[in-house]
């Protein structure tokens, strides 16, 4: 099978059953097994495109009509390169390793075979499991597979951290067919017996290299030991470092290695126009604000190295009139989901993110990518600018390099062959900045009121996790304030119960009330008197000291004194 993949080399590596020892001799990247390789080079003169007219449709690859119909409703009919290669093997239940960069359509490459092999309706026990490294990627994959399996009636659930256990446990108890989750939460629910993995027949490890970088590989291995040995396993990764190869050898059965990527792993998108500027840290916010007013700018992603910088930039851009949101690790899950929903729906057109939080974010229509600082290495650079210029579209990538980052940028430029070792010194007022990016000459650091057409982040409803009622604590300096707050709380709770009125003690002399308002008893005496309902109504007995020095108990009657027994 030959895929028409422009500017790409596709490598198929098949297991050699006659030489199993070759696995042990394999080192480094590439295929899992030391087997024969077939390399398919693109024809000369072909232009880069993700899907070409010659690529087969999903229907031609014997995908179930229900899935084909659901995909066609979403505007998907022809296959991507990685899908064209993986589907024939995966639909037969074979283990495979797919090596492709983000944005090549690998989600449907493993998702369609999983959906096709599900027995629907099932008994409610999960039949397939997809393990992903981040929450955002978990939601992305869940959404794509839910849409693809809509006409089949497949029940899917996303399991990830940052959300209450109760709602996920409830979804599992109600019955699911396909579970997508992050390693930590999956392992927790499995160990608590809420997630049953005994009937999983299809397992996918997506973005395996990212799970390695985040330290999830031990959790992944524990999950792999919980699922049945007789299963189909698919592993997808942009790179194949040693630990991933070891994992594949240990838990996969004669996998086929499919690689659909550019011949030069460090090559960048030819349809993405790249600009590199040397900018001062104090001028970057102003420079970015003017860049966001460039001609034909659509959705924009800005990458920051730190969480604090990401939030600060998003706040400053919002104050300048731009519809901006942030996604980073310090935000709660509800706030992160709110920002992503607003970005996808267009209420926010600028998303500031860190690398880890942005992993797995796949949004259509990103026209510009801005690196606020120089990336750490060439792989990070390629990954960042890969957010734009997807599916044959054109994009713009802008990198701002500080003075102390020039040596790092030179290494990136040399590794990728960009031939731009020396960034151009640029300020927010530089003429070449305006001409390069098509910025209007009258643009300033604030967005004009007439151009503030986006609804903004506040227009996006908050997630369920952000709607939990908070405990209403009131601090009052006066007793009356506290009492009114307390009564208000009782009214909110629907309670009509009120405290009994305190009795006021009156002093008497000779059986008659003493006028002038004797001083009321102390608070603690009143409390004790309330507990003794009968004794409180009798006149108090007063103890008097005799003139002779003795003390006794006397009771006043009329004007005289009747002495009791002396003590």
Whole-angstrom Cα distance, residue 16 to residue 80?
A: 28
pLDDT (tens digit per residue) in 128-187: 999 999 888 899 899 999 999 999 999 999 999 888 899 999 999 999 999 999 999 999
Angle, helices 106-117 vs 135-148, to 10°: value is: 50
- Ordered by start, the domain boundaries in the chain are 8-262, 272-459
DSSP β-bridge partners for residue 262: 8
Q: What is the predicted pLDDT for the residue at 399?
A: 96
Q: Mean pLDDT throughout 113-142? A: 91
pLDDT band at 209 (very low <50, low <70, confident <90, very high): confident
Least confident of 14-18, 153-157, 387-391: 14-18
pLDDT band per the 50, 70, 90 thresholds, residue 282: very high
pLDDT at 402 exceeding the cut of 90: yes
In contact, 180 and 130? CB cutoff 8 Å? yes
Percent of the chain scoring above 90 in pLDDT: 46
Q: How far apart are CA 86 and CA 178, in angstroms?
A: 20
Residue 325 confidence (pLDDT) above 60? yes
CA pair distance 349, 339, nearest whole angstrom:
10
Q: Which of 282, 132, 274, 151 is nearest to 205 (CA)?
A: 132
Contact 446, 317 (CB under 8 A): no
pLDDT, residue 536, reads 47
Identify the CA nearest to 130 among candidates 91, 182, 95.
182
* Residue 277 token pair: 């500027």
Whole-number Å distance between alpha carbons of 14 and 35: 6
Pair 9, 263: CB distance under 8 Å: yes
- Whether the per-residue pLDDT at 370 is higher than 80: the answer is yes
SS3 per-residue string spanning 267-322 = CCCCCEEEEEEECCHHHHHHHHHHHCCCCCCCEEEEECCCHHHHHHHHHHHHHCCC
What mean pLDDT value characterizes the chain? 77
Q: If one looks up domain 272-459 in CATH, what number appears? A: 3.40.50.300
Residues 6+ positions from 364 with CB-CB distance below 8 Å: 390, 391
Residue 396 has pLDDT above 70, yes or no: yes
Q: Do the domains spanning 8-262 and 272-459 agree at the CATH topology level? A: yes
Query: 């227009």: which residue's tokens?
Result: 459
CATH architecture, domain 8-262: 3-Layer(aba) Sandwich (3.40)
Q: Tokens 């579970």 map to which residue?
A: 179
Looking from the CA of 477 toward its CB, the CA atoms found within 13 Å total 0
Q: Are 3 and 84 in contact (CB under 8 A)?
A: yes
Residue in the block written with tokens 């507990």: 531
**How far apart (Å, rounded) are the C-alpha atoms in residues 17 and 184?**
36
Strand duo 424-425 + 128-131: pairing: unpaired
């Amino acid at each position: 099978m030959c895929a028409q993949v422009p500017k790409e080399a596709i490598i198929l590596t098949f297991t050699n059953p006659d030489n199993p020892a070759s696995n042990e001799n394999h080192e480094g990247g590439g295929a899992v097994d030391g087997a024969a390789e077939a390399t398919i080079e693109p024809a000369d003169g072909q232009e880069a495109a993700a899907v070409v007219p010659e690529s087969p449709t999903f229907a031609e690859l014997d995908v179930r009509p229900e899935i084909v119909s659901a995909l066609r409703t979403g505007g998907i009919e022809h296959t991507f390169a990685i899908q064209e290669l993986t589907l024939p093997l995966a639909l037969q239940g074979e283990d495979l390793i797919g090596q492709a960069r983000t944005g090549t359509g690998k989600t449907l490459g493993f998702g369609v075979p999983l959906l096709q092999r599900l027995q629907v309706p099932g008994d409610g026990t999960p039949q397939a499991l997809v393990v992903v490294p981040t929450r955002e990627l978990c939601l992305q994959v869940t959404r794509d597979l839910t849409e693809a399996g809509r006409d089949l009636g497949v029940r899917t659930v996303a399991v990830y951290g940052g959300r209450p256990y109760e709602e996920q446990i409830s979804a599992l108890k109600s019955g699911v067919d396909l579970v997508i989750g992050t390693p930590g939460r999956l392992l927790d629910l499995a160990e608590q017996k809420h997630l049953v993995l005994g009937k999983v027949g299809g397992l996918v490890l997506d973005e395996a290299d990212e799970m390695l970088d985040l330290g999830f590989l031990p959790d992944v291995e524990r999950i792999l030991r919980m699922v049945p040995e007789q299963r189909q396993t698919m592993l997808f990764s942009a790179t194949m470092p040693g630990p991933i190869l070891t994992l594949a050898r240990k838990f996969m059965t004669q996998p086929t290695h499919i690689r659909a990527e550019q011949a030069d792993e460090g090559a960048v998108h030819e349809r993405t126009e790249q600009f590199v500027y040397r900018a001062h840290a104090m001028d970057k916010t102003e420079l970015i604000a003017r860049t966001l007013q460039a001609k034909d700018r659509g959705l924009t992603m800005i990458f920051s190295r730190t969480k604090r910088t990401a939030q600060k930039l998003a706040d400053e851009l919002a104050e300048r009139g731009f519809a901006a949101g942030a996604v980073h690790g310090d935000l709660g899950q509800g706030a992160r989901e709110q920002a992503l929903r607003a970005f996808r729906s267009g209420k926010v057109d600028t998303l500031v993110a860190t690398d880890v939080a942005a992993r797995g974010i796949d949004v259509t229509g990103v026209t510009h990518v801005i690196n606020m600082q120089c990336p750490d290495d060439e792989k990070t650079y390629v990954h960042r600018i890969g957010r734009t210029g997807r599916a044959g579209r054109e994009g713009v990538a802008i990198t701002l390099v500080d003075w102390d980052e020039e040596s790092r940028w030179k290494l990136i430029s040399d590794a990728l062959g960009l031939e731009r070792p020396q960034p151009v010194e640029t300020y927010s007022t530089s003429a070449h900045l305006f001409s390069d990016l098509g910025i209007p000459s009258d643009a300033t650091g604030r967005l004009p009121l007439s151009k503030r057409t986006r609804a903004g982040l506040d227009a996006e409803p908050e997630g369920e996790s952000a709607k939990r009622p908070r405990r209403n604590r009131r601090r009052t300096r006066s007793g009356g304030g506290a009492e009114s707050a307390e009564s208000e709380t009782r009214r909110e709770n629907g309670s009509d119960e009120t405290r009994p009125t305190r009795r006021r003690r009156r002093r008497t002399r000779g059986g008659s009330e003493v006028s002038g308002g004797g001083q009321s008893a102390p608070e603690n005496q009143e409390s004790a008197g309330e507990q003794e309902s009968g004794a409180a109504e009798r006149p108090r007995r007063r103890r008097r000291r005799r003139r002779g020095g003795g003390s006794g108990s006397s009771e006043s009657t009329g004007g005289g004194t009747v002495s009791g027994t002396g003590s």
